[in-house]
Amino acid sequence: MNLDPDLAALRPLGGYFVLRTGGAAAGTLPTLAQAYAATAPDVYGNPLIFRVGKVATALRAPESRVAASVAHLGLAARLWSVALGCAALYGRVPDLDPRLLHWDADAGAPDDLWLSEVRPLPGDAQTLGAVLADVVLRAHLDPLSAALRAHHRLAPGLLRGNAASALAGAARELDRWARRHGRTDTAVRARSLAAELLAHPLLTGAGTLTGTAFRRRSCCLYYRVPGGGLCGDCCFTRPPRSSPRAPSG
């Protein structure tokens, strides 16, 4: 199935999977490449700092690193959902180069990301996993993690766990949707790709995948948000109480 200019096959999956394409709006927004490279230390000149501040305000986060982790997890989930959704539904992945993806740090899905041009990357069923690793892990999550760590005390294991959790969550949603709609091939492809990617050197050891259930080995710190509790795949079975800085990987 060829990629279409609007990536219309993603729309039935819901907001986190939808990617806006083309249009004049994209040109008015900074690209993710610009966001990752931003060095301005203030909210007005740095989209990532703005995003972390927005999350901190919305969640009443007790410290910036908690908001930074949640912001990282959210953007990772968006990127995995779009890329894995395309791979599972089309059998192809569009070029999601950070220079082509425009980001509105003040918006939520699906209005936050715009792809200026839809062009398929080379590859086939046997190389989809490697393509996804290059597109998401290397091109986006590596520079995103580096940019956030430049401003916030985030452990590499926490960020690796966030990346793995976001991937597993996207695969789980794809599997549920595909099963509901009798798309067995799509469900199988999503699960297979997720398992392959979680064994990638950049994600290996981040957690354990059993079927579509994932248990990470680190904590994203969401339990520190007032009323937050634990995520479904958290390494903890109950929120830590004794230390203000629980192990995060």
Please answer whether residues 216 and 206 qualify as being in contact, where contact means their C-beta atoms are separated by less than 8 angstroms: yes
User: Helix, strand, or coil here: 92?
Assistant: coil
Is the pLDDT score of 240 beyond 60? yes
pLDDT in the model for residue 125: 86
pTM equals 0.94
pLDDT band at 248 (very low <50, low <70, confident <90, very high): low
Buried b (16+ CB within 10 A) or exposed e, 72-104: bbbbbbbbbbbbbbbbbbbbbbbbbbbebbbbb
Q: Which of 229, 174, 203, 135 is nearest to 10 (CA)?
A: 174
Please answer whether residues 90 and 3 qualify as being in contact, where contact means their C-beta atoms are separated by less than 8 angstroms: yes
pLDDT band at 25 (very low <50, low <70, confident <90, very high): low
3-class SS string, 195-240: HHHHCCCCCCCCEEEECCEEEECCCCCHHHCCCCCCCCCCCCCCCC
Helices (H) and strands (E) in the chain, counts: 8, 5
State both tokens at 119: 């062009």
Please answer whether residues 121 and 94 qualify as being in contact, where contact means their C-beta atoms are separated by less than 8 angstroms: yes
pLDDT band at 247 (very low <50, low <70, confident <90, very high): very low
Is the pLDDT score of 98 beyond 80? yes
Provide, rounded to the nearest whole percent, the portion of the chain with pLDDT above 70: 96
Least confident range of 44-48, 105-109, 172-176, 239-243: 239-243
What residue type is 68 in one-letter code? A
Is the pLDDT score of 229 beyond 80? yes
